[in-house]
Each structure stands twice: as structure tokens, then as C-alpha cells.
Amino acid sequence: MSRAIPKTGSVTALGAMSGTSLDGVDAAVIRTDGVTIGSFGESGYRAYTTEEQQILSAALGQWSGPAAEAATRIVQQAHEELLAEFTGVDLVGFHGQTLAHAPRTRGTYQAGDGAALAKSLGRPVVWDFRTADVDLGGEGAPLAPFFHFACARHIGATGPLAFLNLGGVGNLTYIDPSFERPEMPGALLAFDTGPANAPLNDLLRARRGMAFDRDGAIAKSGTVEQGALELFLAEPYFARMPPKSLDRNDFSQMVALVSELVDADAAATLTAMCAAGVAAGMQHCPTPPDRVLVTGGGRHNPVLMEMLSVSLDCPVMPVEDTGLDGDMLEAQAFAYLAVRVARGLPTSCPGTTGVRAAVGGGIVSLPEAQAQAG
Ligand SMILES: Nc1ncnc2c1ncn2[C@@H]1O[C@H](COP(=O)(O)OP(=O)(O)OP(=O)(O)O)[C@@H](O)[C@H]1O
Ligand SMILES: CC(=O)N[C@H]1[C@@H]2OC[C@@H](O2)[C@@H](O)[C@@H]1O[C@H](C)C(=O)O
């Protein structure tokens, strides 16, 4: 089998994403030419064990050293195991695990070695997607927006719409699908909305040894503490114009705002903070979108979805209502972006990361050759 990346036409790309929730690795196949989505293929998931999660968690905020190295070994092994199960793949998009993100000062750091992964899989691997954007003055995140734009076209959207990803951190992409290309000024506006599930997960793990508030069961019976919510919304981040991005633990101090509350009220308040961050961010969009399509684990939380419906001026629905897969959208995004990198197409622009001009980036590592800059 040829290991070269086809230069034209559609290719089969496998994307892998290990998100800020630290729950595991998602992998998904799409067929695309880097512009249009042809079709979606199979997908898979490899959960991190509790011990692996602890090692990853201990490495958050570390830019190097033993903790980061231990995390990298876990990321590498989990990806090698999961991705080896897929066949008939032309190239792989490997996001890695973000350990630290401070684009204005130190940069952005995703653990994982794409060159080693290319060798072990025997496939070209595109990786280190965020560094080039940061080097050009961008936030380096979010990067899914170019894929969201392709999804909007794929589902036949005609009016403005938004994708809202609720993982550990929240991020929103406002799209005007009437533009022909995502890098055109006005086509996209994207930013991190604030913390999503991470603080709630952290609180419940500390207090109850639970991974998360399944179906909002704990928050459902609680009352939102308005004073804490107001203090949270007073954070300057929310008034800042996008593009803007966050590290997973940038808002970890918000757990202190609910430390005196009983579990149900604390969970309800942290859930409300997630929704309030989204509502605050929506004020920065050029117009209210026709609808908000929610992706990521937060869409499974009915309390959060209800709070969003109440606080936003448009219908809020899971992306499944349009036929997309909300559990795999980010993995699909990095498959799609890998093809764009391989084809020399941009993956971010001023509207998505604040980068000075539309930029590609990423490293292409071939299984048997030296790395090529993307
Ligand atoms: N049934 C459910 N009820 C409530 N919350 C849920 C449910 N299922 C998932 N979640 C939440 O979604 C989280 C996982 O979301 P997701 O997989 O989108 O995160 P991620 O991809 O790691 O994060 P990010 O997008 O920030 O990188 C869980 O940790 C949990 O908080
Ligand atoms: C630095 C980093 O890894 N950021 C992630 C994180 O998780 C959600 C949000 O914060 C988003 O900005 C981004 O991930 C998605 C996939 C993105 O780049 O679009």
C-alpha cells in the first residue's frame, strides 16, 4: 500500500482528540478533500483508566519535566492502541493532550509525538496543529471552527448558526454559511465561552468521588446562588472581545465561590456559570444565530441544556438534530484539519483565533521519512 498522501481528490482521514475532560481518546474517520465533507466513517473510543487520569491531571500546567513525560507516554500508548484498529486510512490527524495553554506568554503545549505515531502506525500523521497560529499572534484555539463551517455547509444551513462545544471548557463558533470560504472576513467568529464541565467534574470528584453529574441529577434539585454567579460574571474575560481562549484550569478558582454551598446548590451554580458564560459570549456575535447546535458531553446534561434554552435568544438543540455526531465532532475536526494541512489550506484565521492572517500550520510526519513542515 502506498504511504504517500494523495495530492488531489478526497482522502480517508482518521482524527484523534483527547480533550480537557481527560476521560479518554476519541477517534473518527471522515472522507474529505479538505474543503467539502464527503462522508463520515467509523469511530472509536479508548477510555483512560483512573490511574492514567491521575497522571494526566498531575501534568496539567506542566510544560516539561517528569510529570509531562509520564503524561506523554500515556497519551502515546492510548493513541497507538486505539488508532491501530482502523484500516484503509490515508492519513491521521493527531491533536494530542493539551497540558498547558498560555498563548500570550509561553505558548501552547499538546503532549504527544506525531513522528513516533507515524512510525508505529505506518501512516502519515499531521500533528502540532496549534503552534504556528500562536507564533503568528493567534490564540491557537479554538481550531474546530473551519470544520464547523464545513459541517454547516454539509447540513445545508443557509442562515447564521452557532456550534457550541461543551467539554471541559466551552467553545462557540458563529458561522455565516453564505460565505464561500471560512477564512473570508465575516464567515466565522469563534472563542472559548468559559469553563464548561471541568469545574463541576472537579467538585464532584473531590466531594463525592464521582466523575461527573450524570444527567444533571445533582444540580436538578439545587438552587443557583446568584451572588456567586454575579462574581463569576464579573471576571474581565467575559467582557473581552473575541477571539479569546482558555486553559482548562484558568477558572479553577470558581470552585471556591461555591465551597460553602451544599452539593446540589454548588452543582446547580457551577452549571449555571457554564450557561451564563455562553450567554455572555453570545453578546459578542454579530447577530443572534438562527439556532445553537450543541456538541460535546454537556449536551447530555438536561439541566445545562434547559439553562441554555432559557438564557439564549434562539433555539438550542443537540447537533444530532441535524444528523451530526456530537461525541465525535472534535475527532472528525482533526481528521478534516489534517487534510487541510496536507493540502496547504489554512486552518485558522483572524475571526477564529485572532491570528494576523489565515494560517495553516501543523507538522506532517511520514512513517519512513523525515518530518515535513505543513
Ligand atoms: N450524561 C451526562 N450528563 C451530564 N454530563 C455529561 C454526561 N455525559 C457527559 N457529560 C459531561 O461531558 C464531559 C465530557 O465531555 P467531552 O467528551 O465533550 O469533553 P472533552 O472533549 O474532553 O473536552 P474539550 O472539548 O473541552 O476538549 C464529562 O466529563 C461530563 O462532565
Ligand atoms: C488549547 C486547547 O486544547 N483548547 C481546547 C480546549 O477544549 C475546548 C476549548 O478548550 C477549545 O479551545 C480547544 O479545543 C477544541 C477542539 C478546538 O480547538 O476547537
- Identify whether the C-beta of residue 92 lies closer than 8 Å to the C-beta of residue 124: yes
The residue that leads in pLDDT, 249 or 13, is: 13
Cell of 238: 467575559
ipTM reported for the complex, 2 dp: 0.98
Could you report how far apart the first and last alpha carbons of the chain are, in Å?
A: 23
pLDDT > 70? residue 245: yes
Is there an atom of ligand 2 within 6 Å of 169 CB?
yes
Residue of minimum CA distance from atom 8 in ligand 1: 297
**CA atoms of 279 and 283, how far apart (whole Å):** 7
Atom of ligand 1 nearest to the CA of 200: 31
pLDDT > 90? residue 44: yes
Q: What is the pLDDT of residues 91-143, one digit of tens each?
A: 999 999 999 999 999 999 999 999 999 999 999 999 999 999 999 999 999 99
Q: Mention every residue, 6+ apart, whose C-beta is less than 8 A from residue 27.
A: 14, 15, 16, 17, 43, 44, 45, 46, 82, 83, 86, 331
Residue given cell 451572588 in the structure block: 227
Q: Mention every residue, 6+ apart, whose C-beta is less than 8 A from residue 237.
A: 194, 244, 246, 250
Q: Are strands 91-102 and 292-295 parallel, antiparallel or unpaired?
A: unpaired
Q: In sequence order, what E strands does 211-270 have?
A: none
| 67 CB-contact burial (10 Å; exposed 0-12 / middle 13-18 / buried 19+) | middle
**CA atoms of 8 and 235, how far apart (whole Å):** 47
Q: What is 156-322's CATH topology? A: Nucleotidyltransferase; domain 5 (3.30.420)
Q: Where in the chain is the domain with CATH 3.30.420.40?
A: 11-141+328-373, 156-322
Residue of minimum CA distance from atom 23 in ligand 1: 167
What is the model's pTM?
Answer: 0.96
Tell me what pLDDT residue 231 has.
Answer: 96
Adjacent-strand bridge partners of 93: 15, 126
Q: What is the pLDDT of residues 175-208, one digit of tens each?
A: 999 999 999 999 999 999 999 999 999 999 999 9
Average pLDDT over the chain reads: 96
Q: What is 11-141+328-373's CATH topology? A: Nucleotidyltransferase; domain 5 (3.30.420)
Give the C-alpha distances (Å, rounded to integers) separating 197 from 61, 208, 224, 341, 358: 18, 16, 16, 30, 31
Is there an atom of ligand 2 within 6 Å of 177 CB?
no
